Amino acid sequence: MKKIVFTLMVLIFTSIFSFSQNADEIIKKAYEKTEGNSQYAEMTMQIVRPRWQKEISITFCSLGTDYSMVLITNPSKDKGQTYLMVEKEMWMWNPTISRIVKLGPSMMSQGWMNSDYSNEELLNGGSIIDDYDKKITGEETVSGKNCYVIELTPKTGTTIIWGKQILWITKDSNMILKTEYYDDDDFLVKTHIASDIKMMDGREIPTKFEIIPEDTPNNKTVVIMNNINFDIKVDKSFFNQQNMQKGMSLEFPK
Amino acid sequence: MLLSLSWKNIWRKPSRSLVLIAAIAIGLAGGVFTIALADGMLKQRNEEVIKQQYSHLQLHHKEFYDNPKIKDSISNSTEVISYLLDREDIVALTSRIKFLGIANSSRSTQGLMINGINPEDEKKVTSVYECLIDSSSVYLSEQSQNEIIISTKIAQNLMLVFYQYNEKCKNELIEIKFDPAILEKLEPIIDILIRSKASFKDSLRTYLSSEEYEKYAEIITEQSSQYSLNKKIIIRFNDIDGNLVDEAFKVVGIYKTSDAMFDNMNVFVNKKYIAGLLNVPYNTSTEIAVITNDLKTAKKTTSEVKVKYKNLLVESYFDLDPMSVWQNEFITIFYNIIVAFILFALSFGIINTVLMSVMERTKELGMVMSIGMKKSKVFLMIMYESVMISLTGGVIGMLIGAFVSIYFGKNGIDISMYSDAMESFGMDTVMYPNLELDFFIGITILVVITGILSAVYPAKRALKLNPSEALRSDA
């Protein structure tokens, strides 16, 4: 009898264990899918505010999670501005003042180009995997796709400001379709929505990303991916300050 | 002889003199009380800012104010501390690490002045531990790790506040005699947690009419606000080598001092813990704050310490809070102007009364002059009358003023109705009038001078009298 109970316990525990392993896997795969090793992308960012609306065109190139370069190609007011992100640091080059400005810690949580994306988010998108405990809490359908609902709670001792995150990841293709960010009191702070799934450079990925903050109604930022190339040939040496200063004449490796 | 004659003259028409004395008494009582109030407020503010932030004496690295960096710490702090502790005129001291950082919550960001404190020493010097407002707030302990105390203001900025109209809030509103009809209307939102002030007000707007909303929304919102304790905030700062450090802190306490400016920036953490994060020895200090026996001796102590440690910036409270010095000077001028104005107005009453009594006594004055009283004595007699009237009124007024001031000095005057504005100037909402003895001496002198000056015109009129004509007059 005792033996049976024991084996049952073992079975139950191992199944729980494998379930949580599963959540890890799913998230890892989902991130691999969007990030890839290196990429080149052309995007349009719409910043929607109650009184105005702005559209920015961006060319973007990255290597791993530590190196990226951003060039703004439109509107003419911001044209030629570049951003360089290397590891935990971020610089901006502005052609009108011809000067490189390092973004200090105080600017990291401000919105990038006044959008709802903070500089911080652009910089450390990848820390998610290690710093959270992950748990599959259910299954739901989001925009016609079957999804796992995965709850992420920050591990103690990490410097994550969220109380928790809830992710909806498609079962078949490991795409993150929706992310909800909650504060310590379990209030929703903002929602990330990914949609418009298309084939891009041989991969099926969402091409429209929306971020909707909860505290400020009628505000949102939409990013539309116009073109993306994965696994481009780019070297670390591309991400330097000389290249930043080329502005509009900077040639991205595609 | 002349004095008693004058005194009797005053009481020839008791009601007239009494009215004047009463006028002077009331005028001066008002003046004394006003000044005591102003003086008390100032003293209170000084004491409070000393207790809450400045202490009597502070030591820094010479370049501390230009840019508070960890590198600019007090290099020989251990030696300085032991020297200061050996001095007899020093009651308590504490050392701090003070540096700038940035706090992030899930909704907002704010720049901060981080105070790494020795929790137990700090208690002896400043009163932050007394300023904790929420009942579940805890003060730091010597073993505190990543615990932090922030102000109500910072909690609001970081949006660690939520709004909930609940039973407790309802009872508090009932206690302050709030209109029950309004409370009835709020019933649907009871116990609903709302994160932002704007949406809480929006929900009020849906249940209240626009007039009611205008009138009561603020107070309901204020009563309903609650602070989220034990929540995580991320503090970011540079360690001694310039590396960026991110650290999660748990908000264990919320404080509120009477100085809104101070509250806007300052947070408190355990010094030993933060020193580890900054990668410096735990006894590093960028600030040493000292309490001396008495504020009056602080200046002397400061100059002595200054001589001993030329490499440090040694400042007394008067250097740290230059406003206080300016205010003290201003208030002295202010006293004299107020009293002078009151007495100037009253002097017309005195002139009038004395003049009337001189006119009434034309016959009598003519007689005393004709039996050989010297003109100077007549002049003096009238002057004595005037001075005695003003002095009697003055003394009574000062006594009333002092009595009222002492009474309120003990019990305090609650002005919390206007507290918001007062608080942002660093003042408490309960005022305690304060009187200094030397200020009565000043008033007495002013009163006597007024009496003398007021007598000049009537006395001159009396001297102009021709004794023979005066004798024949009807009055």
Sign of the four-CA dihedral B452, B456, B461, B464: positive
Q: Which domain range does residue A212 map to?
A: 31-249
Please identify every stretch of chain A with a pLDDT value under 70, giving residue numbers as ranges.
1-21, 34-36, 124-128
Interface probe with A: pick from B100, B232, B234, B273, most Cβ of A within 10 Å = B232
**Tokens read off for B195:** 């994160």
Are B27 and B346 a contacting pair, CB within 8 Å? yes
The alpha carbon of A219 is separated from its chain's Cα centroid by a whole number of angstroms, namely 19
The confidence score (pLDDT) of residue A98 equals 86
Please report residues of B whose CB lies closer than 8 A to that of A161: 104-106, 232-234
Among B111, B196, B228, beta carbon nearest to A184: B228
Residue in chain A lying closest to B162 (CA): A185
Bigger pLDDT: B344 or B469?
A: B344
Picking from B196, B198, B231, the nearest residue to A184 by CB comes out as B231
Q: Let me know if residue A230 belongs to a domain.
A: yes
Q: Which residues of A touch B232 (CB under 8 A)?
A: 161, 184
Banded model confidence at residue B393, pLDDT cuts 50, 70, 90:
very high
Q: Which of A109, A158, A181 sits opposite B109 (nearest CB)?
A: A109
Q: Single out the residue of B235, B233, B243 nearest to residue B70, CA to CA.
A: B243
User: B198 to chain A: which residues are within 8 Å by CB?
Assistant: 215
- CB-nearest partner of A185 from B162, B238, B244: B162
Mean pLDDT of chain B: 85
Which conformational region is residue A7 in: left (phi greater than 0), alpha (psi within -120 to 50 degrees), or beta?
alpha
Comparing C-alpha atoms, which of B399, B139, B435 is closest to residue B269? B139
d(CA A130, CA B115): 31
Which residues, listed in sequence order, are joined to residue B430 by a DSSP beta bridge?
A: B414
Beta bridge partners of A71: A59, A82
ipTM computed for the complex: 0.75
Q: Do residues A148 and A26 lie in contact, with contact meaning Cβ atoms separated by under 8 Å?
A: yes
| Cα B238 to Cα B69: distance, rounded to the nearest angstrom | 9
Q: Closest Cα to residue A61, out of A243, A217, A187, A216?
A: A243
CB within 8 Å of chain B, chain A residues 100-139: 105-106, 108-110
pLDDT of residue A17: 47
Residues 6+ away with beta carbon under 8 Å from B8: none
Cα dihedral value B441, B445, B451, B456, nearest 10: 180
Number of CB pairs, chain A paired with chain B, less than 8 A apart: 57
Tell whether the model's pLDDT for residue B232 goes beyond 50: yes
Query: Distance between CA atoms of A184 and B233, rounded to whole angstroms?
Result: 10
Per-residue model confidence as pLDDT tens digits over B280-331: 988 889 999 999 888 888 888 888 888 888 888 898 888 888 888 888 888 8
Closest-CA distance, A90 to chain B, in angstroms, reads: 13
Q: What pLDDT does B421 receive? A: 59
* B230: nearest CA partner in chain A: A184
Residue A24 lies in a domain: no
Asked whether residue B94 carries a pLDDT value surpassing 50, the answer given is yes
Q: Which sign, positive or negative, has the C-alpha torsion B361, B363, B365, B367?
A: negative
Are B107 and A183 a contacting pair at CB < 8 A? yes
**A152: chain B residues, CB-CB within 8 Å:** none
pLDDT at residue B89 is higher than 70: yes
Q: What is the CATH number of the domain that holds A238?
A: 2.50.20.10
Q: Do B231 and A185 touch (CB under 8 A)?
A: yes
pLDDT > 90 in chain B, percent: 21
Nearest to A159 among B198, B231, B246 (CB): B246
How far is it, in rounded angstroms, from Cα A142 to Cα A149? Answer: 10
**How far apart are alpha carbons B153 and A117 in whole angstroms?**
26
Cβ of B106 and A183 within 8 Å? yes
DSSP for B138-205, please give it: ----TT--SEEEEEHHHHHHTT-EEEE--HHHHHHHHHTT--HHHHHHHGGGTT-EE-SHHHHHHHHH
List residues in chain B touching A: CB distance below 8 A.
102, 104-107, 109, 111, 159, 162, 193, 195-196, 198, 228, 231-234, 236-238, 244, 246-248
Question: From CA A210, how far away is CA A189, in angstroms rounded?
Answer: 14
**Residues of chain A found within 8 Å of residue B111, distances taken between Cβ atoms:** 106
In one letter, which amino acid is A94?
Answer: N
Distance CA A198, CA A207 (A): 7
Q: How far apart are CA A178 and CA B118, in angstroms?
A: 46
Residue A253 vs residues A92, A239, B115, B400: alpha-carbon distances, Å: 20, 11, 48, 90
- Comparing CA positions, the residue from B398, B445, B404 lying closest to residue B25 is B398
Q: Count, in order, helices (H) and strands (E) of chain A.
A: 4, 13
Residues of B in contact with A182 (CB under 8 A): 106
With an 8 Å Cβ cutoff, are A215 and B107 in contact?
yes
**A187 and B195: CB-CB below 8 Å?**
yes
Cβ contacts of B269 within 8 Å, gap of 6 or more: B114, B115, B116, B117, B140, B144, B146, B147, B148, B149, B249
Query: From the CA of B293, how many Å to the nearest CA of chain A?
Result: 42
Task: Please answer yes or no on whether B102 and A105 come within 8 Å at the CB atom.
Answer: yes
Distance between CA atoms of residues A118 and A74, nearest Å: 20
Report chain B residues whose CB lies below 8 A from the CB of A108: 236
Residues in B touching A105 (Cβ below 8 Å): 102, 236-238, 244
Which of A87, A108, A184 to probe by mutation at the B interface, max B CB count within 10 Å?
A: A184
Closest residue to A105, CB basis, from B162, B193, B236: B236
Question: Do the domain assignments include residue A5?
Answer: no
Q: Do A163 and B195 touch (CB under 8 A)?
A: no
pLDDT at position B321: 85
Listing DSSP states for B232-280 in one string gives EEEEEEE-TTS-EEEEEEEEEEEE--S-HHHHTTEEEEEHHHHHHHHTS
A77/A100 Cα distance (integer angstroms) = 17
Residue B431 has pLDDT above 50, yes or no: yes
Question: What is the domain count for chain A?
Answer: 1
Q: Do residues B152 and B132 touch, judged by C-beta distance below 8 A?
A: no
| B195 with A215: Cβ contact below 8 A | yes
Residues of B in contact with A109 (CB under 8 A): 102, 104, 109
Evaluate whether B436 touches B333 at the Cβ level (below 8 Å).
Answer: no
Share in percent of chain A as helix, strand, coil (round to 5): 25, 45, 30
CB distance from A158 to chain B under 8 Å?
yes
> Which amino acid is residue B393, in one-letter code?
G
Give B242: exposed, middle or buried? Use CB within 10 Å, 0-12, 13-18, 19+.
Answer: exposed
Residue A89: its pLDDT value, please?
A: 84
Nearest residue of chain A to residue B251 (CA atoms) = A184
Cβ contact B412:B392 at 8 Å: no
Percent of chain B with pLDDT over 70: 96
- Residue B233: list chain A partners with CB under 8 A: 161
Rounded to a whole number of angstroms, the distance from the CA of A141 to the nearest CA of chain B is 28
* pLDDT value at B469 more than 90: no
* Nearest CB to B104; choose among A109, A184, A187: A109
**Do B399 and B413 touch, CB atoms closer than 8 A?**
no
Structure tokens at A74: 């439109």
Q: Which parts of B273-348 are beta strand (E)? A: 287-292, 312-316
Q: How confident is residue B252, by pLDDT bands cut at 50, 70 and 90?
A: very high
Please tell me the distance in Å from A97's CA to the nearest CA on chain B: 27
Residue B397 has pLDDT above 70, yes or no: yes
Q: Tokens 């001028």 label which residue?
A: B333
Taking an 8 Å cut-off on Cβ atoms, the answer to whether B106 and A162 are in contact is yes
Name the residue among A88, A162, A163 with its Cβ closest to that of B244. Answer: A88
Q: Is the pLDDT of residue B411 over 90?
A: no
pLDDT of res. A249: 83
Tokens of B151: 């102000």
pLDDT at res. B143? 87
In terms of Cβ atoms closer than 10 Å to its own Cβ (0-12, 13-18, 19+), residue B420 is: exposed
Q: Could you read off the pLDDT of B193-230 as tens digits, one per residue?
A: 887 777 888 888 888 888 888 878 888 887 888 888 88
Cα dist. A51→A47, A76, A111, A218, B271 in Å? 11, 21, 18, 9, 47
The two tokens of residue B381 are: 């007699």
Name which of B105, B193, B247 is nearest A161 (Cβ-Cβ): B105
Shortest distance between the Cα of A118 and any Cα of chain B, in A, equals: 11
Which residue of chain B is at minimal alpha-carbon distance from A215? B196
